[in-house]
Amino acid sequence: MTTDMMTLELKLVRSTDGVEIDLHPLQGLWTELQYVKLSDQLNHLIEFTDGRIEVLPMPTSRHQAILLWLYERFKAALRPTGGPVLVAPLRLKIRPGKFREPDILMLFQGADPRYQEAYWLGADLVVEIVSADNPQRDLQDKPRDYAEAGILEYWIVNPLDDSISVLVLEESAYRVHGRFGRGQVATSPHLANFGVQVDEVFDAG
């Protein structure tokens, strides 16, 4: 069976005989294991919260160009410590029953036990590039999730207004380290001497 997600609907379609199964009634009933197995089979990003599956839109060319530009900079910054930096698709377990797929995720040190093959058990810094289909997901929902997961730093890269917000975790909640626009340098409170020119980020796409 294949999965037809062109309209972001939860349906399984077997094209050989026209069988179509609507999976929407299963929302709220999916198990963590079922989610992991389903996401192994798809070419779409899907996230999971307490039995519910959310299919994310395919990224645009600009989204991918910004993502890869930032990936190269973070990768270079962490090379001295051997900290891994990877990009979606890669599942990040927030807690039992909740998974996200950050655009970029990293651990500051090599050999961190949270680095796992099927999915990571945590991260030190994550980056999300805001999607036009649902900005609230990256601006409001994911800060709560990443704070719940204990992720030290969250970068919100917003092509809708060419801004980068850097959030830092303090006492289980994020505070704004800085909101940076064109003409400024976005900096990290945890990576010493690391910064990116906001103009270069958004001009990459």
Secondary structure class of 103 (helix, strand, coil): coil
The single-letter DSSP state of residue 54 is E
Pair 36, 119: CB distance under 8 Å: yes
Residue ranges and CATH numbers for the domains of the chain are 2-55 (no CATH), 61-203 (3.90.1570.10)
Residue 109's contacts (CB-CB under 8 Å, 6 or more residues apart) are 81, 82, 83
Q: What is the pLDDT of residue 28?
A: 78
Question: What pLDDT, on the 0 to 100 scale, is given for residue 39?
Answer: 78
Per-residue pLDDT, 143: 96
Closest of 58, 27, 23, 55 to residue 39, by C-alpha: 55
As to burial, measured by CB atoms within 10 angstroms (0-12 exposed, 13-18 middle, 19+ buried), residue 77 is: buried
Structure-token pair, residue 33: 């294991």
Q: What is the pLDDT of residue 31?
A: 83
Residues of the chain with pLDDT below 50 are: 1-8, 14
Q: Report the largest interatomic distance among the alpha carbons of the chain, rounded to a whole angstrom.
A: 59
Percent of the residues in the chain that have a pLDDT greater than 70, as a whole number: 86
pLDDT of res. 4: 39
Query: What's the pLDDT at 188?
Result: 97
Ramachandran bin of 36, using left for φ above 0, alpha for ψ from -120 to 50, beta for the remaining angles: alpha
Which of these, 130, 124, 128, 180, lies nearest to 149 by C-alpha position?
A: 124
Whole-number Å distance between alpha carbons of 128 and 137: 10
Quick count: other Cβ atoms within 10 Å of Cβ 116?
12
CA distance 174 to 191: 17
Instruction: Give the pLDDT score at 9.
Output: 52
Tokens of 97: 């029953």
What predicted TM-score, i.e. pTM, was given to this entire model?
A: 0.82
At residue 21, the pLDDT reads 54
**Structure confidence at residue 33 (pLDDT):** 84
